[in-house]
């Protein structure tokens, strides 16, 4: 998979480099035949990149499906091995949420996010290397992406806990609704409608609050990143113009560097978009893998004194109201 990604990324570098050659050929008075040959090579490189990229993604998706099959089988084995008392204490809603929403999140991560991230990493490294080869000073313009790094670091420090809270809130709501539906007759006989409705409102409010938290993290990350994309291109055009006036680099090299740095936005966008999914997938995987290794209380929380998904004792949580009936 990595070899195919590297070959696809290498083929993708042909277009910007050949575009610079076309600019230099036109400036030097080259004929239309030379431009046509370079244009044909750009088309060949694009088709080759398309075919190699498709093959790399196909291999990556197959790997993701095999890994997902192992995760699903492990979850089912651990869930079936749970003692009945643990299942009763956890509630059907929590196990249902882990076996559906969390497994689906892990599936998307392994099947789609992981292969695309590997492709994007290789593409970004090749693009940066190509700019440095054109001229080290033009490659230094990529330092304008430092704002991206600071924003991602800030995001990653907060994202895992936020997504774990969001998953726990969804499990709590699912468990509450499942328990209320299963004990509907008991709720009606004992007049518990108001208390169950109040509990549902609290669970919904917690879901809303946790989702707004993850939305806030994304609303800070993406604008900073989008602005950072424009900095290297502007720096390359400014520095490249000065270097061209000094006779250090050709105009074609400046054009190629600007195009290559502009193309960085595509793999970096993939990385950042999938980073959000990877964080959600990692939190979901921790909850899926935690079945059978942690004692789960009502609402999807690990009980105090039992190991959590990270191997440390889980913090005590306030128990929700008992399920009616």
Q: Are 4 and 56 in contact (CB under 8 A)?
A: yes
Q: Are 120 and 278 in contact (CB under 8 A)?
A: no
Q: What is the pLDDT of residues 79-125, one digit of tens each?
A: 777 787 776 776 666 777 777 777 777 777 777 777 778 778 888 88
Tokens of 316: 């005590």
Q: Are 63 and 115 in contact (CB under 8 A)?
A: yes
- Per-domain residue ranges of the chain: 2-300
- Per-residue pLDDT, 292: 61
Q: What is the pLDDT of residues 69-91, one digit of tens each?
A: 787 777 778 777 778 777 677 66
Average pLDDT over residues 202-226: 90
- Per-residue pLDDT, 181: 84
- Give the Cα separation of 127 and 116 in Å (integer): 16
Q: What is the pLDDT of residues 301-321, one digit of tens each?
A: 444 333 344 444 333 333 334
- Per-residue pLDDT, 19: 84
Arithmetic mean of pLDDT over the chain: 79
Kindly indicate the confidence band of residue 208, based on its pLDDT and cuts at 50, 70 and 90: very high
* CATH annotation of 2-300: 1.20.1560.10
Asked whether the CA dihedral 307, 276, 270, 105 is positive or negative, the reply is: positive
Kindly indicate the confidence band of residue 264, based on its pLDDT and cuts at 50, 70 and 90: confident
Average pLDDT over residues 261-290: 80
With a pLDDT cut of 90, the percent of the chain lying above it is 4
Q: What is the pLDDT of residues 24-68, one digit of tens each?
A: 888 877 778 888 888 898 899 889 888 888 887 788 778 777 877
């Amino acid at each position: 998979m990595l070899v195919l990604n590297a070959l696809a990324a290498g083929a993708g570098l042909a277009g910007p480099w050949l575009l610079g050659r076309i600019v230099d050929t036109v400036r030097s008075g080259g004929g239309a035949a030379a431009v046509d040959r370079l244009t044909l090579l750009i088309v060949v490189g694009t088709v080759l990149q398309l075919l190699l990229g498709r093959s790399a993604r196909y291999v990556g998706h197959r790997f993701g499906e095999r890994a997902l099959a192992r995760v699903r089988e492990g979850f089912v084995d651990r869930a079936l091995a749970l003692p009945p008392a643990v299942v009763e204490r956890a509630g059907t809603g929590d196990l249902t949420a882990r076996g559906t929403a969390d497994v689906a999140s892990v599936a998307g991560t392994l099947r789609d996010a992981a292969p695309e991230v590997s492709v994007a990493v290789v593409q970004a490294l090749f693009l940066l290397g190509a700019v440095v080869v054109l001229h080290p000073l033009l490659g230094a313009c990529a330092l304008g992406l430092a704002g991206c790094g600071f924003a991602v670091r800030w995001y990653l420090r907060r994202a895992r806990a936020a997504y774990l809270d969001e998953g726990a809130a969804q499990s709590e709501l699912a468990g509450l609704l499942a328990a209320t539906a299963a004990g509907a007759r008991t709720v009606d006989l004992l007049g518990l409608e108001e208390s169950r409705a109040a509990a549902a409102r609290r669970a919904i409010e917690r879901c809303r609050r946790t989702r707004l938290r993850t939305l806030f993290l994304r609303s800070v990350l993406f604008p900073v990143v989008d602005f950072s994309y424009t900095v290297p291109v502007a720096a390359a055009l400014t520095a490249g113009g000065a270097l061209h006036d000094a006779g250090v680099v050709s105009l074609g090299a400046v054009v190629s560097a600007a195009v290559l740095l502009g193309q960085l936005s595509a793999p970096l966008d993939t990385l950042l978009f999938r980073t959000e999914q990877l964080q959600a997938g990692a939190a979901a995987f921790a909850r899926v893998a935690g079945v059978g290794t942690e004692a789960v209380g009502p609402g999807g929380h690990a009980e105090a004194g039992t190991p959590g998904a990270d191997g440390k004792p889980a913090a005590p949580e306030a128990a929700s109201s008992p399920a009616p009936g």
